[in-house]
Amino acid sequence: MSLRAFAAAHRGALLALAGAVLALVLFWLARSSRPVMNFWVDRVSMPVKRGLGAVTNPLPFSVCEAGATVLILGALVLLGRAFWHAAHGHPAALGAWALHLAILVLWGYVGVCALWGTQYYAESFAEKAGMEVPGVSAEQLTAVTRYFARQVAACADTVSRDEQGRFAVSREEIFSQTAGLYDGLTGRWPFLAGPERKAKPAFYSRLMSAWGFTGYLCPLTGESTLNVDCPEVFLPVTIAHEFAHQRGVAAEQEANFVGIMASITSGRADYVYSGWLYGYLHLSNALYRVDPAAASASMAGLPETALADFAQNNAYWASWEGLIQDVGESVYNAFLESYGQTLGMQSYGACVDLLVEEFLPCTDWTE
């Protein structure tokens, strides 16, 4: 079949492909306008995501995972069918398969851009909250890291632990405590209010571990899906992090900060401990880069149980290090950077400035 004949036979598909390209061009042009992005997020994407979430929330499984499974298996079946037709005198069948796959992928990406990518160009959490995120000095960082270490020590014994002193709260118990998780924040930051949604355990949790992920929000279904294979100690704060995304916080560093704040103000011991420990992790990692001695001194103030939790978590993720995780991080870096998130995966550590601004007044630091 000639190229002209192929185009004539698949005119509708080619128009659909052109429509996807046009939609992406419109997104790339519109994203430079903050008023347009604010309007779109407030009036279109957030209502649509919440509507999708209302439909998928009652289901006990991740619709995103199920849908991806069906699409991948369907694409493979159709690929096999295309090869069969090509082997029986219809070589254009492979081209048709590739064309329709491109349509599916591009329109899927259009949906992600419309329902999620636009969030990166609208007003940020820090802007809405009036937090300036100033530069942080080593002395300020040290003071807040020590403050978090004291909070970790104060609540480390409030959670269930195993015979080795490690965090031992079941995943089922953690998932059962999500209702009202953000009640402690919405009075201060009303823009974080939103409908209650369930967190859903991932069926493909081990695959997520191989790729280095602990959870994700699927904008096409409005669901938060969590890795339930990794150690449970950071599962509560990770759920809170994904809920921050559901409530319109796009940037990873801001979602980390909001997730920590939601956890430590939740009144739920498991979430409180997870939030303080996760905040300490980010702060101490940042402190180690500028003052290793101060970071080691703060670590010495942690109870043995907290150190055991860190050891278990570190050992788990070390067991997954390798090519697959490197590829996963590279792909996600590229995804974030395509939306102007120039810190890539490192943006997960940039919540430090917000934590210092928020908690410095609680410390004994003086100018």
Q: Do 158 and 223 reside in the same domain of the chain?
A: yes
Domain contains 214:
yes
CA distances from 187 to 74, 153, 191, 247, 262 (A): 47, 28, 9, 14, 12
- 56-70, 244-258, 336-350: lowest mean pLDDT where? 336-350
**39 with 46: CB under 8 angstroms?**
no
**Measured between alpha carbons, how far is 95 from 84 in angstroms, rounded to an integer?**
13
Q: Which helix (H) or strand (E) holds 152?
A: helix 138-155
Number of residues that make up the chain: 367
Which of these ranges, 132-136, 307-311, 312-316, 342-346, has the smallest mean pLDDT? 342-346
Residue with tokens 């120039």: 342
pLDDT computed for residue 343 by the predictor: 46
Identify the domain boundary among 121, 148, 170: 121
Instruction: State whether 86 and 177 are in the same domain.
Output: no
Which residue(s) pair with 201 in the sheet? 226
Is the domain of 158 the same as that of 35? no
Tell me: do 138 and 109 sit in the same domain: no
The model's confidence at residue 45, banded by pLDDT at 50, 70 and 90, is very high
Nearest to 178 by CA among 238, 133, 110: 238
- C-alpha angle 124/130/131, rounded to 5°? 85
Helix (H) or strand (E) holding 90: none
Name residues whose C-beta falls within 8 Å of residue 132's C-beta, 6 or more positions apart in sequence. Answer: 126, 357
Q: State the average pLDDT over residues 141-169.
A: 96
- 82 and 161 part of one domain: no
The verdict on residue 127 lying in a domain is no
- Domain contains 153: yes
Look at the chain and report how many structural domains it folds into.
2
Same domain for 182 and 247? yes
Q: pTM score, two decimals?
A: 0.91
Residue ranges of E strands in the chain: 199-201, 215-218, 223-226
Local structure of 91: helix, strand or coil: coil
Question: Which range marks the domain in which residue 95 is found?
Answer: 3-121
Tell me the average pLDDT of the chain. 91
- Do 87 and 137 belong to one domain? no
- Residue 346's pLDDT is 37
**Which of 89, 121, 153 is where one domain is finished?**
121
| 367, part of any domain | no
Give dist(CA 127, CA 122) in Å, integer. Answer: 10
Residue 38 lies in a domain: yes
Whether residue 64 is found in the same domain as residue 167: no
Q: How confident is the model at residue 351 (pLDDT cuts 50, 70, 90)?
A: confident
Last residue of a domain, one of 78, 102, 121: 121
Model confidence at 6, pLDDT cuts 50, 70, 90, reads confident
- Together in a domain, 8 and 145: no
* Domain co-membership, 184 together with 43: no
What digits encode the pLDDT tens for the residues 16-44? 999 999 999 999 999 999 999 999 999 99
In terms of domains, do 147 and 250 share one?
Answer: yes
Q: Given pLDDT bands bounded at 50, 70 and 90, which one contains residue 135?
A: confident
CA quadruple 111, 180, 206, 328: dihedral sign: positive
Kind and range of the H or E element at 49? helix 46-56
Q: Name the band, by pLDDT with cuts 50, 70 and 90, for residue 2.
A: confident
Q: Using the predicted structure, report yes or no on whether residue 299 has a pLDDT greater than 70.
A: yes
One domain for residues 281 and 315 = yes
C-alpha distances in angstroms, 323 versus 97, 215, 239, 345, 363?
A: 30, 20, 27, 16, 42
81 is a domain residue? yes
215 part of a folded domain: yes
Q: What is the pLDDT of residues 94-115, one digit of tens each?
A: 999 999 999 999 999 999 999 9
Percent of the chain with pLDDT over 90: 80
> Treating both helix axes as pointing N-terminal to C-terminal, what angle do 138-155 and 269-290 enclose, rounded to 10 degrees?
150
